[in-house]
Amino acid sequence: MQSQIIGTGACIPDNIITNEALEKLVDTSDEWIVSRTGIRERRRINSNEASSDLAYTSAKRALKNAGLKPDQVDLILVATATPDMLFPSTACMVQGKLGLKNIPAFDLSAVCTGFIYGLATADAFIKSGVYKTILLVGVDTLTKFIDYKDRTTCVIFGDGAGAVVIKATKEKKGIIASKLYADGSKWDYIHLPGGGSRIPSYKSDRNTYYLKMKGNDTFKVAVRGLEQAIVTLLKQCCISTSDIDIVIPHQANIRIIEALARKLDYPMEKIFVNIQKYGNTSAASIPIAFDEAIKENRIKDGDIILMTAFGSGLTWGASLIRW
């Protein structure tokens, strides 16, 4: 049995934050942001909305694209670091909004690597015969946890959601394999201290509600981690970089993507990049980019697709897909 992706969808908030708008909030410049990150603008969710709202819209679009009704789904997985609330899960919220009952739904927490962790989980459930049709959503609304006085983080992150429908098939198509990693000793590279059981909300001061990041340290381990995941996965699957038709990387920083391309000796033209429009949307970045790549006809029948991500945890990984 193979796990074939049969539908994709995305939901990006309308509200745009340009670099020029950030210049008015912090000591930064469009030139600095573009040259250091590749980001020109990012999107921000409305204050009365939460992750499950974006997730639900992206899920509906993916189901429509797959030609399925919600009641044909066996399992809902939501990769997110910004759930609507600590519990219940955002996956349960999405299930409720889709009008479904009696199917399992749960969240995965691997932050920016969440979608790759989700693909590997869905693939394992399908290949073991437990479920046949899985809805996987990657969603994050990190702008709700950003200090717009901190120039080192506020320029990077944006909101969004992307979804895929994955179905069991006997065809030779779908997820070939995934490789996942984590290093919990570096938990403090990117983290959000407040609101959990260590610093509960009632004890938190405002500062603990904001995302903290050691940008420079993260940059270095990101490039090494992505290279490790890709090289190991390709070796395991007996596939070489020249066999890969398109790379859909996590959109964290254009310089990280360019460094990876140099290390793998892989052409930038075959790497899908949309970071300039959305910034880093965490778990949503790969499914949003994937949906756009399909709509722009960048992916054709039989193509080998490589997806790769890293993020807080630290977590990192890669997936190979035959389209």
Contacts of 49 (CB under 8 A, 6+ apart): 13, 141
Cα 37 to Cα 81: distance, rounded to the nearest angstrom: 22
Query: Which residue's Cβ lies closest to ligand COA?
Result: 215
Of the residues 152, 169, 204, 232, which one makes contact with ligand COA according to CB under 6 A: 152
Active site residue 238: no
Cα 42 to Cα 19: distance, rounded to the nearest angstrom: 9
Of the residues 15, 23, 30, 32, which one makes contact with ligand COA according to CB under 6 A: 32
Cα 13 to Cα 173: distance, rounded to the nearest angstrom: 32
Q: Give the per-residue contact string, 109-148, with ligand COA (x = CB under 6 A; - = no).
A: ---x------------------------------------
- 37 or 133: CB nearest ligand COA: 37
Residue 252 engages ligand COA in binding (rule: CB under 6 A) = yes
CB of 44 to ligand COA, least distance (A): 17
Q: Give the per-residue contact string, 207-226, with ligand COA (x = CB under 6 A; - = no).
A: ------x-xx-xx--x----
Residue 3 engages ligand COA in binding (rule: CB under 6 A) = no
Taken in order 281, 284, 290, 296, the sign of the CA dihedral is negative
CA distances from 116 to 27, 109, 129, 321 (A): 35, 11, 20, 11
CB of 54 to ligand COA, least distance (A): 18
Taking each helix axis from N to C terminus, what angle separates 254-264 and 215-237, rounded to the nearest 10 degrees?
Answer: 40
Residue 253 engages ligand COA in binding (rule: CB under 6 A) = yes
Residue among 11, 19, 92, 250 flagged as catalytic: 250
Of the residues 15, 16, 25, 28, which one makes contact with ligand COA according to CB under 6 A: 28
CB of 202 to ligand COA, least distance (A): 29
Of the residues 40, 60, 127, 151, which one makes contact with ligand COA according to CB under 6 A: 151
Residue among 11, 92, 112, 154 flagged as catalytic: 112
Neighbours of 139 (CB within 10 A): 39
- 185 or 216: CB nearest ligand COA: 216
- 272 or 310: CB nearest ligand COA: 310
Near ligand COA by CB under 6 A, which window of 30-38, 170-178, 179-187, 267-275? 30-38
Active site residue 112: yes
Contacts of 2 (CB under 8 A, 6+ apart): 126, 127, 168, 169, 170, 171, 172, 173, 174, 175
The count of chain residues that interact with ligand COA, using the rule CB under 6 A, is 21
- 31 or 243: CB nearest ligand COA: 31
Of the residues 54, 142, 166, 190, which one makes contact with ligand COA according to CB under 6 A: 190
Q: Give the per-residue contact string, 169-188, with ligand COA (x = CB under 6 A; - = no).
A: --------------------
Contact set with ligand COA (CB under 6 A): 28, 32-33, 36-37, 112, 151-152, 155, 190, 213, 215-216, 218-219, 222, 252-253, 280, 310-311
